Amino acid sequence: MKKKLSIIIVSFNTRKLTLECVKSIYANSPSFSFEVIVVDNCSTDGSEKIGSKLKPTWKKNFKLIVNTSNLGFAKANNQGIAKAAGKYILLLNSDTKIKGNTLESLVSFAKAHKDCGIVGPRLLNPDGSLQASVFNLPTLTRAIGQYWLGNAGVLDKYAPKGDTPVVVEALVMAGFLITPGALQRVGKLDERYFMYFEDIEYCRQVKEVGLLVYYLPSAEIIHYHGESGKRNGNQKQYERLVASSKIYHGFLGYYVYSFILWSGQKFLGK
97-133 residue pLDDT tens = 999 999 999 999 999 999 999 999 999 999 999 999 9
pTM: 0.85
What pLDDT is stored for residue 239 in this prediction? 58
Kindly list the structural domains of the chain, giving each domain's residue range(s) and its CATH number in brackets, ordered by start.
3-267 (3.90.550.10)
159-191 residue pLDDT tens = 999 999 999 999 999 999 999 999 999 999 989
Question: How many alpha carbons lie under 13 Å from residue 180 in its C-beta half-sphere?
Answer: 11
Q: Phi/psi zone of residue 153: left (φ > 0), alpha (ψ -120 to 50 degrees), beta? A: left
What pLDDT is stored for residue 2 in this prediction? 85
What pLDDT is stored for residue 83 in this prediction? 97
Read off the pLDDT band of 270 (50, 70, 90): very low
What pLDDT is stored for residue 49 in this prediction? 84
